[in-house]
Structure 1
C-alpha cells in the first residue's frame, strides 16, 4: 500500500487513550440503547426497510461494504436473534459470501426512505442454501441461490445527524444523473484507458439496461 505523504505524522492518533482524550465521555443512553436481540421497534424498522449495507472483512483484513436492496420487508426476521437476507443476482464476484466464509463477523445498516434514523445490527453470518427458506424469498418466480443468515449480537437505532447533514432524502438536493458519465462509460474508460465513442457508448448503455431487465432476479 502506498504511503500517504499528505498526512502529517505528528497529528496521527496512535492509540485509544489518545482518541478518548479528544472527546467527552460517551452518553449513557448511547450505551443503554444497545440491545443483544431484536425488539418490536427493530422488527418494525426492518419490515419497512428496502435497503441495507452489509460490511464484511476479507481473509487478509481488507474491509468491504456491499449494498442490498429489494421491496420493503425483503429481510426476513426468523426470530429475535436471526435475520435472513436473500442474495440476489449480481456480478458473481461473491465478495461478501467469500468474506463470510473466512470471517463471519458482519455489520448491517438498514435504511428507510424518508427516515433520518437508521438501524444498526452487528453479528455473525452464515450462508445457507436451505430450499425451504429460499422458497420464502422467491420473487417473480425466481428464488435466490443462497441467503445470508445473520445471528444478531447487537442492535440499536442510530440518530438522524448524518442524514440531516447530508439532506439525503431532500428532493431539493437531488442531482441530475445526466451530468455525470453513465456506469458503462466510466467502466469502459477505466478498463480500456480510452473514452467510448458516442455510438459505442449508446450500445453499451442499452446493453446494461437490458441486463438489468433480464437479471434483476
Structure 2
C-alpha cells in the first residue's frame, strides 16, 4: 500500500530536533491554539483542542514546556490517558501562518503551585499543569493548511450554515426538551473560560 509514496527527502528527516530551539519558542509564544494527542493503555488515540492567549503554553527551558489545563467538560480523557501512558504530542497553530509545529515527548501532571511560573489566565489558575519533556520537535509542511484555506476569510463558514449546537447536543443525547439557543450557550461558556 505504501509503495506509491516517494522516500522523504533529507530536509524532511533532518529538520527533526530533540529540543525547543529559538524558532520553536517563537512559534509557541505566538500560538493561541494547539491540539493534544494521547493514547489509552490499549492504544486508542485521543485528541483534544487546547487554547488560550497567545503563548498560553509556557516554554520552561529548551527541553520542557508547561501546558495549563483549564476548566472544560471534565471528561479529562487526555489526562486520564497520561496517567497510564505518559507519551503525548502537541501540534501548535498560529492564526494566519500555514506551517504548524509538532512536539512529542513524555509528560508529568503537576499541581500549578509546583512550578515557579504564573499560569493565571482569564483570572484563574489552571486545575493542573502538563509538563512535557521534549523528545522531538519539527515544523510541519504547510501544504495541508494551504489546501484547506484555513486562514482564508473566503473559506469561513457562517455559523447559521450548520445545525445549531444546542440541537446537535439534544439529538446526540436523545433529550426531549430543547436546549437554549446557541447565543445563550456561548454566553454561558464564556463565563467559564
- TM interval, shorter chain, is over 0.9
The answer to whether the 8 Å contact 2:101/2:139 transfers is yes
Q: State the SS of the aligned residue for 1:215.
A: coil
Which structure shows the higher strand fraction? 2
Match of 2:54 in 1: 72
Q: If you compute each CA radius of gyration, which structure gives the higher value, 1 or 2?
A: 1
Which structure shows the higher helix fraction? 1
Aligned mates of 2:164, 2:116 — CA distance in 1: 34
Aligned mates of 1:140, 1:41 — CA distance in 2: 27
Q: State the SS of the aligned residue for 1:209.
A: helix
Match of 2:109 in 1: 127
Deviation readout 1:173-217 (Å, 9 max, x if unpaired): 1111111112221010111166x6xxx34x35355234313211x
Match of 2:89 in 1: 107
Matched residues, number: 193
Flag as ranges the 4+ runs of structure 1 deviating above 4 A: none
Q: Any stretches of 5+ residues in structure 1 without a counterpart? A: 1-12, 14-18
**Paired residues for 1:1-217 under 5 Å:** 13=1, 19=2, 21-133=3-115, 136-192=118-174, 200-201=178-179, 203=180, 205=182, 207-216=184-193
Aligned mates of 1:135, 1:81 — CA distance in 2: 16
What's the TM-score once normalised by structure 1's chain length? 0.83
Cα pair distance change 1:50/1:134, threshold 3 Å: farther
Match of 1:3 in 2: none
Give the superposed CA RMSD: 1.7
